[in-house]
Chain A
Amino acid sequence: MIRNLNIILIFTSVIMLAGVYTLKFSIEHTASERTALAAQIESQEGDLSLLKADWAVLNQPGHIDPIVKRHQVALAIGPVQQKQFGAFQDIPMRPVKPNNAEMDALFQSLEAGIDPIDAILELEGIE
């Protein structure tokens, strides 16, 4: 009886031992993965901070202005002059909208065989 119990206990403890060790190693593995990830995130954050700084430099008016000046002649650009500003009064009036109804009536009368030009020609005495 006791002998059997002992054997069972020994096996159980061996299995448990193996289990505990497996768990330990898997946790260590996870922890090292976590550390590696944290390090990677940190280095990427570092890279990101550098990229953001680069972006900020490229956006500075002080950085863009010399580039603009360099290509001023080729692109024919320059600082805005006062005479380039317009006012609403300077915009010409909108052209009168074409009278569609009149046009439709004309086409319909043409299709019906009545040409207003004929009437004019007749009036002028030209055949």
Chain B
Amino acid sequence: MAVTAEDLSPTIALDGGRKIRGNLTQARIRWMVLALVLGFGAVGGRLVQLGMVVPDSTIEGQARDVITATRPPILDRNGLEMAVDIRVPSLYAEPRRIIDVEEAVTKIRSVLPNLNEAWLRNRLTGDKGFVWVQRELSPAIQERIMRLGIPGVEFLTESKRFYPGMTEASHILGSTNIDNQGISGIEKHMDDENVALLQELGLARGNALAPVELSVDMRVQHVMHEQLVDAMSRYQAIAAAGVMVDIHTGEIIALASLPDFNPNDPKTALVKDTFNRITSGIFEPGSIFKTVTMAGALDSGAVKMTDQFDARFGVRFGRFTIDDFHGKHRILALPEVYKFSSNIGTIRVMQAMGKENFRAFLSRMGFDQRVSFELPEMRLPSVPKDFSEVGAATASFGHGLSVSPLHMVTAYSAFVNGGNYIAPTLYKRSEAEAELLYRRVIQPETSANIRALMRLNAIGQGGSGSQMNKAALGYRVGGKTGTAEKVVDGRYSSSKVTNFFASAFPLDNPQYAMVIMVDEPKAENPQSGTTAGWNAGTVTGRIVQRVAPMLGIAPDFSPIIDDFVPTAYR
């Protein structure tokens, strides 16, 4: 029997011990390598993952950037701060880290007793990572809460807007909300312009921003505010407002409206009647509108300074007769029409010009649109598109149309600065910059005539501005009174009036125009009256007396200065 390999079971080859150990070691090394690779891979992967994570900077829907965002300080024209940022602590809690809610509630309420207990308990319960408890606290309260040592309750420094002038320039500045965004006034305008963008980009955070310089002079603003407060109590008026502009540049020097609010406490702005009467209030301007009629008529060449107008009888329109308040009932020269504020005379002046021309002149003076201005609180004036005969007649002396005091002060600036319309601004503007924006509305000669009329009204016998001139003697103020009767139950009431005084000074070389409004004044004493000369006029006089030295205007009593006023009508 042949021995073949086939029958044999496969050869048994026994590996040596060395080889077995070698294989085993190799396998172990492989496993080791795999484990290490996996281990390092896991570590590396985690590192990459950590590197990819974008830190979540949002706090309950609000970006942290926004709450600590700074705003540029606001300065007045002399560099005095009108608005600054201060850092204040705000209390927040992390409910998921609070161990004993009841204890935390009791402790927090021991320092902040005005917090509602149920609200606070509800706020601190749950698994949330961040909740505000109370924002914008004082450092003293922060210290006291820190001492309580409640876990999960902490502070964050926020930036808060502070207005050192308190209520004085409230309508100019407006206010910001708790997240430091402007909600009214120039603050809102700044946001709309560029600050919001800066904050969005994160550039505004913690960085000192270049201050914003306004055209306002806080000294003048203070005097105007103080005098308006005084007028409110002196004449028991429901409201008072005033605005002063530099007639050459259109810069607002002062703007105040009472009742006002405290921008440090923005919710006071929600109180009724605190709206800005200068920009967002529209009123029947009354007789101060006669200056507009005079300027239009003189500029059209239809009337001359020497013309005479028959004011013996009232003007009849069907059933209506329009008569004068202090009727002279004689033939009046043009300066006398202005000085005695004759309605009849003014209607005749307007009729000489023609009502179509008169309406066109109102458009030229910008009376049928908003004044271009920075404050967002603006209202459209209401001026009829077309005038009827009687509509044009009443409009000529300021009834039947409503414009804002800002419209009036802008118009007066143009009338006295040589005839150039310049939109008002709250930012600094040089005369050269302003000249590029000038729009000619009347001729320089007309402007000179209007100046003479305004001055005549202050120095002339029986002029309606003579009360005003008593206080401001020497500062060459001139202006026009306006007493507009209010519509009560559908008819004009003689007891409820809105009084205006529109003025400019010093009239030999005008610099500033001003409109003062006193709403529903009562007579100061039995000898005085309720017409504008008695209240808005005297307020103007007192303001000019105080501010003229600040603005570098020296009094001058030399009679030559008033030579430009026609002597015949003084």
Contact = CB atoms under 8 A, between A and B. Distances in A.
Contacts of A63: 164
Interface in B137-193: 157, 162, 164-166, 168
B555 A56 contact: no
A59 interface: yes
A46 B166 CA distance: 21
B222 A62 contact: yes
15 contacts: A46-B157, A49-B85, A49-B86, A50-B87, A56-B80, A60-B80, A60-B164, A60-B218, A61-B218, A61-B223, A79-B545, A82-B473, A82-B555, A82-B557, A85-B549
Given A46-B86, A61-B218, 7 more contacts: A50-B86, A53-B86, A53-B164, A56-B81, A60-B168, A62-B168, A82-B474
A57 interface: yes
B554 A61 contact: no
A60 B165 contact: yes
Interface residues of B, number: 28
B87 A56 contact: no
Contacts of A50: 86-87
Interface string A54-68: 001101111101000
A49 B164 contact: no
Interface in B438-472: none
A6 to B, nearest CB: 21
Nearest to A64: B222
Q: Can you list the 5 inter-chain pairs with the closest CB atoms, starting with the nearest?
A: A46-B87, A56-B81, A56-B164, A61-B222, A82-B555
A82 B84 contact: no
Interface of A is mostly: helix
A82 B555 CA distance: 6
Interface in A10-27: none
What range describes how many residues of A lie at the interface?
10 to 19
Contact of A62 (B84, B86, B225, B473): B225
Nearest to A59: B80
A52 interface: yes
A42 interface: yes
A45 interface: yes
Nearest to B85: A49
Interface string B472-490: 0111000000000000000
B546 interface: yes
Interface in A62-114: 62-63, 65, 79-80, 82, 85
Contacts of A42: 87, 157
A60 B86 CA distance: 17
Contacts of B429: none
B234 interface: no
